[in-house]
Amino acid sequence: MFGNPNSPTPSFISIPTGTEFVFRVTFSVRVLMSDPLARLKTIDRRRIMLATYSRRIRLTRPLAPETERRMQKRIDARFNDLTRERRQLVELIKADPVLRQRFYDQEEAMRKAATPNAVPSSQKERDR
């Protein structure tokens, strides 16, 4: 292995086969392929942060409409890029059966965590 694997610049990978083959791997592919589900979670968090930031910037419209428009345009571009990347990532996840199953399992666990229990935990404590 040549170069720093954590570096955002392109690095090289060698395949040990007696003769050395070197392939160029870009940072985006390395991050994307390391763990697509973790990347998806990161993208979702960033999209939420950008949406929140966008709502806050809209409040500045009466004070500085031109600045608000410029900042809103920049945030919308970032949000759209993340949305496009998320769409591609979900397609990649759904194409692989193992990743698809992990994805659905995580979604199901999040749904179960989001639904309130029928009996509050304080009620369960009293029943014991």
The pTM is what?
Answer: 0.61
pLDDT at residue 19 above 50?
no
Helical H segments across 21-96, by residue range = 27-34, 36-58, 65-95
Domain assignment of residue 56, yes or no: no
Domain assignment of residue 124, yes or no: no
Q: What's the domain range around 95?
A: 35-47+83-101
40-64 pLDDT, tens digit each: 999 999 999 999 999 999 999 999 9
The total number of structural domains that make up the chain: 2
pLDDT of residue 126: 63
Considering the domain architecture, whether residues 21 and 40 belong to the same structural domain is answered as: no
Q: pLDDT-based confidence at 124, cuts 50/70/90?
A: low
Give the H/E segment covering residue 21: strand 19-25
Considering the domain architecture, whether residues 12 and 25 belong to the same structural domain is answered as: yes
**Hey, which residues does 21 pair with through a beta bridge?**
15
Domain assignment of residue 5, yes or no: yes
70-100 pLDDT, tens digit each: 999 999 999 999 999 999 999 999 999 999 9
Considering the domain architecture, whether residues 1 and 29 belong to the same structural domain is answered as: yes
